[in-house]
Structure 1
Amino acid sequence: MNRIRIHIILCLLLSSISGVYGQTTDTSEGYAMNYDNAYELAFEGKTAKASSILGALSKEQPEDTKVTALWASTLSWKGNYEEARKQFNTILSTEKNHRDIWISAIKNELYAKNYATALGLANKALLYIKKDAELERLKNLSIERTAEINYPDKGWYNVESKISALSKKKPYKIDKKDDKVAEANKNKVIRKTPVTEEIEKNRVAVNSSVTVFDQRFDPITSSSISFKRQTQFGSIIPRLNFSNRQGRSGLQYDIDMYPKIAKGFYAYVNYGYSSSELYPNHKVGGDIYYNHKSGIEFSGGGRFINFATRNVKSITNSLGYYRGNYYFSLRSYITPGEEAELTKASGNILVRKYLKDAENYMGLNFGIGFSPELRQFSSGDQLLAETLLYIESQRLSFEYQFTSKNNLSAYRTNVGVLRQEQSFAPGTYFYSFSAGLTYQFNF
């Protein structure tokens, strides 16, 4: 009987030991459920297994920042950028001086190609951690990536929404494999490798808009189709514009180019031609832009418009500033007349907020003075295109752009209101309301 009792006790002890061991093991994979094991798995490249263990540990120990941080990094390596962002934000909401978490959070946005968000995070991190070389490097990387994208607005005057300096310096990417090694061994230096990811180099955009008036004029409809080609020297955008105004239709052939010049410098060049009386015969425009690393952008240039009976010249300059997810731009136009009192000035102010990335944004544009868009009307049989250069107006418009889930398509809508002086009755004004929709896709 004693032997039976001893046997039973031994069995109970073995079961107890086995039960304890089972509690520290991932029964599906056979790996110990602890941070050190997950750390080693992450170092060995077994990201999925490490993430599974860390996810479970994080739920059991939500106060353990070290566990949550490594879990968020493994989520990022797997491509689950949204969940990784949530975990990083949870930590940074209370631990704003945690350098490694800031770095990992910025890299997560770079992996996700949310370059504007990455830049915003880098700027914010540098508020808490001053003059950090790695944070500065990630900030510059975000600037380079964001600056690869051009944002030519419709209209030859082109209130350009460049984010920062275009550079001939080769951009670099953070290799996820190297990131894992750095996470596992803080003494290792992250390797820089040239960008190998493919960037869509072509874009087609189709636009349609309508303008209605509170008096006298019939509605104006316009549309355009453009093709953008990104090259190593800059982008080129041919465009075909069509307009129906006051019972007349016309076509305009237009082309924009954004050649790169040198580090921090790029240009905008435009030419348009039309045989229709609804458009100028020829129009030429150009600007030289300089982007400073501080996020400030300057430009200077001019516009030349050739009508059937006269030529118009304008001098233009702009000041832009990018801060966090916001872009501010102030542009002015000075159009000298034949007499000093006919010299006119106008301006546009653009405020744009970028959302999850540089392709998703909303903005406001306010302008005063003559309209550089040269909206043309008629009085009897006489077109008033030239006269409108010296007519006062105020305008306000709102724009919103968002992308599809795969980021291959984008949709932009804009609505605006214009208050403009009557050309045939100085001192009296009419109002117009416009709305437009643009669809564009990349390939």
Structure 2
Amino acid sequence: MKRILLTFLLALVTAAPAQTSFEAMDPDGLFAAARTLAFGGQRAPARVLLRIALAKAPEYADVRILLARTYAWDGMHDSARAEFRTVLYREQDNRDALHGAIDNETWAGEPQKAVALCDRALQFYPKDIDFLLKKARLHFDRQQDREAAAALNRIARLDRTNAAAAELRQAMALQSSLFTAGAEMTNESYSRIYSPMRYASLSLGRRTPYGAVIVRVNGAYRFGSGGMQAEVDWYPGLGAGMYGYLNYGYSGSPLFPMHRIGAEFFAMLPASFEASAGVRVLDFEPGSSATMYTAAVGYYYGSFWGSLRGYLTPWEHPDGSNELSPSYSATVRWYQEGPDDFFSFRAQGGFSPDLRRIQSGAGMTGTELFLLGSQSLTLGWQSLVTDRLLLSVTADAARQELSSLPDEYVTVVSLTAGFKVRF
């Protein structure tokens, strides 16, 4: 039906006697017919009707904007520029004209003029994500990463789930910084029984077309002995708004699980929600292992992100009965300039999913892991202090049940500091 209508309109426009009938139409009818022709690829005939409409209604902005767009689509950028200027002279804040003018200058190879028009548009519409995206892309195409990041940060404050902004940010990261190296140190102090315990990690990450890959070496000094663990993380992209998490770790020390395996699926949902579900498998001494199932839901609201996460672990009681051990946490982040800059708060209850706190000097087993109660509060800060240097500090206070003394608790205070460098 649409093709028949297009053919009929085209025949009318190109037939000389029909010009008179079109001139008898009102501007709205001419505009509707011209739209059908223009979006059907018949832009020259569409311009005939648009000029007739403008002769009847010179200030009909939508007609002139469509005329300008047909010029731009056909590479007639000077003609398009003149028509857009006419509209913007009368209506400085005409959103459609501003969008069209930016596109025309972009296609004409005039990025400076396009950026200037973006800035002009953002004076009227400071929260318009489409204008911000166009500005970010223009700067990205000119390898002006700082300016592009500033525009993307403004988008992040308005809509952290925007898929187009996330794709552009990932493209920037791939282009500018393939590698990330980092180090982190933690000191834990106990209110009684135990001496301070220390942890450290070194990591190297690389962004690839298949997702980020991170290799990490963890070290621990506890109970008068030290141990090491090697880990690798992979975050594969799984399509628009979806990605995965895969983890494997190995250690020959009783201070860590012998094998650690993790997998999780993440998805961005409508209305600024996100959700994930996954599993963690911990293999300790021979014949002892545990499986933790986890799920989380997150929500973005302005500069804030909140998340609720739960862990559920089936285990066998010494008397042979089967039980489920739960853990839950709530996290809030308050974002500042961009996605790498935030303050965070976390509250946790149930058993402790933090493996550093659930073992004795003799090591740990899957059975004792999920019998230990724990409650904790955590405050954190992270900031991208330069284009390539990221700093973080975390303070944590926990009430932890002792593996060696059931129903006895200690207070654990830990401080973690770390940095990452992109190159």
TM-score normalised over the length of structure 2: 0.63
Change (3 A) 1:88 1:402: farther
Find the counterpart in structure 2 of residue 245 from structure 1: 222
Query: Using the alignment, how far apart are the partners of 2:292 and 2:189 within structure 1?
Result: 28
3-state secondary structure, aligned to 1:113: helix
After superposition, the C-alpha distances for 1:60-83 in whole angstroms (9 at most, x for unaligned) are xxxxx98xxx9xx9xx969x99xx
Structure 1 contact 117–325 (Cα < 8 Å) conserved: no
Return the match for 1:120 from 130, 154, 157: 157
Count how many residue pairs are aligned between Structure 1 and Structure 2.
Answer: 303
Query: Using the alignment, how far apart are the partners of 1:285 and 1:235 within structure 2?
Result: 16
Find the counterpart in structure 1 of residue 313 from structure 2: 335
Find the counterpart in structure 1 of residue 354 from structure 2: 373
How far apart are 1:122 and its partner, in Å?
A: 6.0
How far apart are 1:120 and its partner, in Å?
A: 2.7
Letter of the structure 1 residue corresponding to residue 402 of structure 2? Q
How do residues 62-141 of structure 1 correspond to structure 2 at under 5 angstroms? 98-99=124-125, 102=128, 111-114=147-150, 115-121=152-158, 139-141=162-164
Change (3 A) 1:402 1:120: closer
Find the counterpart in structure 1 of residue 413 from structure 2: 433
After superposition, the C-alpha distances for 1:201-245 in whole angstroms (9 at most, x for unaligned) are 110011111000110001110100101110111010010000000
| Structure with the higher fraction of residues in helix conformation | 2
User: Does residue 353 of the first structure (1) align with residue 334 of the second (2)?
Assistant: yes
Structure 1 contact 234–258 (Cα < 8 Å) conserved: yes
Query: Using the alignment, how far apart are the partners of 1:336 and 1:196 within structure 2?
Result: 40
Find the counterpart in structure 2 of residue 262 from structure 1: 239
How do residues 12-23 of structure 1 correspond to structure 2 at under 5 angstroms? none
Query: Using the alignment, how far apart are the partners of 1:291 and 1:280 within structure 2?
Result: 32
User: Does residue 205 of the first structure (1) align with residue 182 of the second (2)?
Assistant: yes
Find the counterpart in structure 1 of residue 213 from structure 2: 236
3-state secondary structure, aligned to 2:356: coil
TM-score normalised over the length of structure 1: 0.61
Identity of paired residues, percent?
25
Find the counterpart in structure 1 of residue 296 from structure 2: 318
Find the counterpart in structure 2 of residue 40 from structure 1: none
Query: Using the alignment, how far apart are the partners of 2:409 and 2:121 within structure 1?
Result: 54
Change (3 A) 1:112 1:263: closer
How far apart are 1:435 and its partner, in Å?
A: 0.5
Which is worse superposed, 108-117 or 343-352?
Answer: 108-117
Letter of the structure 2 residue corresponding to residue 220 of structure 1? M
Query: Using the alignment, how far apart are the partners of 2:126 and 2:300 within structure 1?
Result: 25
Find the counterpart in structure 1 of residue 143 from structure 2: none
How far apart are 1:293 and its partner, in Å?
A: 4.4
How far apart are 1:100 and its partner, in Å?
A: 7.5
Structure 2 contact 186–414 (Cα < 8 Å) conserved: yes
Find the counterpart in structure 2 of residue 223 from structure 1: 200
Structure 1 contact 116–354 (Cα < 8 Å) conserved: no
Unaligned segments of structure 2, at least 5 residues: 1-76, 79-91, 103-110, 138-146
How far apart are 1:281 and its partner, in Å?
A: 0.6
Letter of the structure 2 residue corresponding to residue 142 of structure 1? A
Structure 1 contact 242–251 (Cα < 8 Å) conserved: yes
Change (3 A) 1:377 1:218: farther
Letter of the structure 2 residue corresponding to residue 335 of structure 1? T
Change (3 A) 1:348 1:109: farther
Letter of the structure 2 residue corresponding to residue 438 of structure 1? G
Query: Using the alignment, how far apart are the partners of 2:173 and 2:235 within structure 1?
Result: 23
